[in-house]
A and B are shown apart, each in its own frame.
Chain A
Amino acid sequence: MSDLNKLGLAEARDALRKGDTTSVELTEACLKAIDAADALNAFVHKTPEIAMERAKAADDRIKAGDAPSMCGLPIGIKDLFCTKGVPSQAASKILEGFKPEYESTVSQKLADAGSVMLGKLNMDEFAMGSSNETSVYGNAVSPWRRGNDDAQLTPGGSSGGSASAVAADLCLAATGTDTGGSIRQPAAFTGTVGIKPTYGRCSRWGIVAFASSLDQAGPMTKSVRDAAIMLEAMCGHDPKDSTSAELAVPDFEAMLTGDIRGKKIGIPKEYRMDGMPGEIEKLWSDGAEMLKAAGAEIVDISLPHTKYALPAYYVIAPAEASSNLARYDGVRYGRRATLEAGDGITEMYEKTRAEGFGHEVQRRVMVGTYVLSAGFYDAYYNRARRVRTLIKKDFEDAFAAGVDAILTPATPSAAFGLGEMTEADPVQMYLNDVFTVTVNLAGLPGVAVPAGLDSQGLPLGLQLIGKPWEEGDLLNTAYALENAAGFVAKPQQWW
């Protein structure tokens, strides 16, 4: 078999089981593709030794007839996940040199399922960004281009390295994390599938924390079926995360029947933003038509507090970040600033954090500090948490009225050029998450599915939002949409 790195998880799994290939061959193909793709800056720590060791072990297990669900499948891991003995620095200078003595629950589960780790993937620093331009490793680059224009485009963020690597076939799939859209926006920008499960589905233990009440891990894959396979391997109760749900994990792949007859799909009118590009609007209405043609009923719904989701997010997420990132103080791990004679502990904290955190991270930590400070806590933080309650209630009302899933655009535009937003104010960049952030605030599952190309040949994605804990049903609707959209475009290899 040739071009083994271009396979998806399901195809590769089936080929391995049939004996048409081996994990060693698959892994070697990916490692070769990774080495040839340094221009994408997607893999920032390569782990070929670990990969080959796990691939050999996987081949032995397959031969012995003892292959777990992801046995022998090579994947990439976002740098936000702590991986034992392998640099895990959340793309931050402040965690330079940090090699965890432990493994995150999700990456351990993936290893237990037999998958092969190829290395760590680029991202925005501490997952704060929508373009992968805040990384200490430099920008991750999308494999996609606007026609013959060689301007470099963003793969999105924060899981930009994951999206770039999956779209460029450097790995079969990758892990991502999503606090405000960090799986779904990069998936939409790169023509890949990304699902953020219900809050509590995946353990957060060992994942560097950004905003703990919003953070969830999820898979980024080449198809909805692959997302179902990988999500199942990542989910499950973990006593080490007190917010992890004690619920059985269903067989998500078995739920992919493609039959959505009688399902009620809501179209929220508040997502029709002023100035929304015509292409996005058309993609959205085409998507609704496809689901209707597959037998679903399309209904107009209202989620009245949508407008307030982004401002609420930009209180809650920085507030939680300012608390979570207090631990980076130059004492226990990572980098400490060089001190001058006479510097005390306060100077050590202040200098370490000033040189260790990038600009966007500093800004969010300080905004979070401000909204939590005495005198402003009620006006900002408590008000934002009240608005969050209302946003969640909007969704509950829609589901109570019989809606099974909600269809929206995944992003307000196609991918933009790296550097194009540098001069824009931070709020402009934050608008990237306008369609995705509501889902994190309400704790719901959301999936981005590639649905078409814009006039410049760039991928556009649609988002489906599901009921809590109904990832299986949501993935089935996504599967029907994927089948109908028939998205098969791939980026032309230039790297």
Chain B
Amino acid sequence: MSIDQSTAAKVAKLARIKVEDDALPALADEFNNILGFIEQLNEVDVEGVEPMTSVTPQRLKRRADEVTDGNQQDKVLANAPDAREGFFAVPKVVE
């Protein structure tokens, strides 16, 4: 599997990281290098082996569906780069 520049650009887009066009060839090379390393996994016979979902054999605990805290609007917004009138503010979303 070889990653070309257009695939690298697509991955950057999916990851929401801006990559300038002139940086794409180097990025594609890095991906290919790492994926080449990962390709070794194809040597392993995984027929009939379950993919691991939890490393310890425990079920995730359930909890009661009830409100345990709240009324912390100020704290929730305290670290926002742009908070206005009790909301997170972002650039215009609607086209």
Contacts of B79 in A (CB 8 A): 97-101, 332-334
| Residues of A contacting B67 in the complex (Cβ-Cβ under 8 angstroms) | none
Are A350 and B18 in contact, CB atoms less than 8 angstroms apart?
yes
Residues from chain A with Cβ under 8 Å of B76 in the complex: 101
Q: Give the docked Cα–Cα distance between A69 and B84 (Å).
A: 45
Query: Chain A: how many interface residues by the 8 Å CB criterion?
Result: 73
Q: List residues of chain A with CB within 8 A of the CB of B19.
A: 354
Contact of A21 with B by CB under 8 A: no
Q: Assess the B37–A427 pair: CB atoms within 8 A.
A: yes
Interface flag for B86 (CB, 8 Å): no
Partner of B37, one of A239, A314, A329, A343: A314
Answer whether residue B70 sits at the interface, using C-beta atoms and an 8 A cutoff: no
Residue contact B91 to A345, C-beta cutoff 8 Å: yes
B60 lies within 8 A of A345 (CB): no
Residues of A within 8 A of B49 (CB): 386, 389-390
Q: Does A285 contact B (CB under 8 A)?
A: no
* B51, chain A: closest CB distance, angstroms: 3
The 5 tightest CB contacts between A and B, nearest first, are A443-B55, A385-B51, A333-B79, A336-B81, A350-B18
Determine whether the beta carbon of A426 is less than 8 Å from that of B91.
Answer: no
Q: Which residues of A sit under 8 angstroms from B75, Cβ to Cβ?
A: 101
Rounded to whole angstroms, the CA-CA distance of A263 and B35 in the bound complex is 41
A246 to B80, CA, bound (A): 35
Cβ-neighbour of B40 out of A311, A332, A353 (below 8 A): A311
Chain B CB within 8 A of A365 CB: yes
Cβ contacts under 8 Å, B46 to chain A: 383, 386-387, 390
Q: Mark B3-14, 1 if CB is under 8 A from A, else 0.
A: 100001001101
Contacts A314-B34, A334-B79 given; 19 further ones with Cβ under 8 A? A97-B79, A101-B75, A101-B79, A239-B63, A245-B58, A310-B37, A344-B92, A344-B93, A350-B18, A353-B17, A366-B15, A369-B14, A370-B3, A371-B38, A382-B51, A383-B41, A386-B44, A389-B51, A441-B55
- Nearest to B81 among chain A residues (CB) is A336
A269 at the interface (CB under 8 A from B): no
B41 touches A427 (CB 8 A): no
Report the bound CA distance from A387 to B60 in whole Å.
Answer: 23
A307-B40, A390-B44 are known contacts. Are A385 and B52 too (CB-CB below 8 A)? yes
B2 at interface by CB-CB < 8 Å = no
Report A's interface with B, CB cutoff 8 A: 97-101, 198-200, 213, 239, 242-243, 245-246, 305, 307-308, 310-312, 314-315, 322, 326, 329-336, 339, 343-351, 353-354, 357, 362-363, 365-367, 369-371, 373, 380, 382-390, 392, 425-427, 430, 441-443, 468
Closest partner residue, chain B, to A102 (CB atom): B75
Partner of A345, one of B14, B51, B90: B90
CB–CB A357/B17 < 8 A:
yes
Taking CB atoms, residues of chain B closer than 8 Å to A354 are 17-19
- Whether A245 pairs with B11 at a CB distance below 8 angstroms is no
How close is B87's CB to chain A, nearest CB, in angstroms?
Answer: 11
Instruction: Say how far A235's CB is from chain B's closest CB, in angstroms.
Output: 14
CB distance from A198 to the nearest CB of B (A): 7
Q: Which residues of A contact B78 (CB under 8 A)?
A: 99, 101
Q: Is B21 an interface residue when CB atoms closer than 8 A count as contact? A: no
In the assembled complex, the Cα of A117 lies from the Cα of B3 at a distance in Å of 47
CA distance A310 to B34 in the complex (A): 11
Q: Which residues of the other chain, B, contact A350 by a CB distance below 8 angstroms? A: 16-18
Known pairs A243-B60, A339-B91, A363-B30; A311 contacts B55 (CB<8 A): no
A contact residues around B72 at 8 Å (CB): 101
Is A426 within 8 A of B34, CB to CB?
Answer: yes
Map CB proximity to A onto B29-49 as digits: 1 under 8 Å, 0 otherwise. 011011101111111101001
- What are 11 of the A-B contact pairs (CB < 8 Å)? A99-B79, A245-B58, A246-B61, A331-B81, A333-B79, A345-B91, A350-B16, A357-B17, A367-B34, A370-B35, A427-B37
Chain A proximity of B37: nearest CB distance (Å): 5
State in angstroms the CA–CA spacing of A49 and B63 once bound together: 39
Q: Is B56 part of the binding interface, using a Cβ–Cβ cutoff of 8 Å? A: yes
CB distance from A494 to the nearest CB of B (A): 36
- A65, B59: Cα distance in complex, Å: 42
A329 touches B16 (CB 8 A): yes
**CA of A362 to CA of B79 in the docked complex: distance in angstroms?**
23
**Option from B16, B40, B52 in Cβ contact (under 8 Å) with A346:** B16
Given contacts A243-B56, A353-B16, A443-B56, contact A315 B41 (CB under 8 A): yes
Other-chain residue from A242, A366, A373 in contact with B61 (beta carbon distance below 8 A): A242
Please determine whether A242 and B60 come into contact, CB atoms closer than 8 angstroms.
yes
Known interface pairs A305-B44, A311-B38, A332-B79; A199-B56 also in contact (CB < 8 Å): yes
Q: How far is the CA of A200 from the CA of B54 in the complex (A)?
A: 11
